[in-house]
Amino acid sequence: MKIRNVTEADLDQIVELNQANLPAVGPTNRTQIERFVEQTHSFLVAATPDDQVGGFLVGLPPGTDYGSLNYAWFSTRYDNFIYVDRIVVGDSGQGQGTGRLLYDTFAGRGRETGADVMLAEVNVIPRNDQSLRFHERYGFVSVGEQDIDGGDKRVTMLAYRLDLQSS
């Protein structure tokens, strides 16, 4: 897969791929995806050989006007960060290194802007073992937990130090 920036032509496929991966990621719609395009640090697409969306990553910088409880949790604890709001890899990219390519590209962009840390969260209730394993292998460490959705969900808050990693 080739990693590139999102285009207008990708947006409907992104919404469809996102919704097919609930509850591992939060729900979204076209309006929210369009807003992400405007306010993200990076909105990356893993494009298949026929230029379809095989995966995507939405990354935000600090100081973004965004109503996520998880983003707010990180914002009160970190100043110089990049935040993975969501990453989704379709079936064709599972186990093919697509997630790592998306994270490597995002981390590289974070280093270019001088960010110290890349932040993300993963569900522990309901448990997302695949994502937890991926993040652990990548080098993320847990820096806390938080209940969301009235306690129906719990996430582990993860950090990956960009300033300690080689590019």
What is the CATH topology of the domain spanning 2-161? Aminopeptidase (3.40.630)
Residue 165's pLDDT is 66
* Residue 53 tokens, joined: 């969306």
Strands 53-60 and 81-89, sheet pairing:
antiparallel
Give the pLDDT score at 79: 95
Name 124's bridge partners.
127
Tally: H helices and E strands in the chain = 5, 7
| Pair 10, 34: CB distance under 8 Å | no
- CB-CB neighbours of 79 under 10 Å: 10
Are the beta carbons of 83 and 11 closer than 8 angstroms? no
Q: Could you list the mean pLDDT of each consecutive 10-residue stretch along the chain, which spans 167 residues?
A: 96 96 89 92 94 96 92 97 96 91 97 97 93 96 94 94 76
Element containing residue 74 per DSSP (H, E): helix 69-75
Helix (H, G, I), strand (E, B) or coil at 142: strand
pLDDT of residue 150: 85
Sign of CA dihedral 24, 87, 47, 35: positive
pLDDT of residue 127: 92
CA distance 156 to 110: 22
Phi, psi for residue 30 in degrees, rounded to 5: -60, -40
The token duo for 4 is 């590139």
Length of the chain: 167
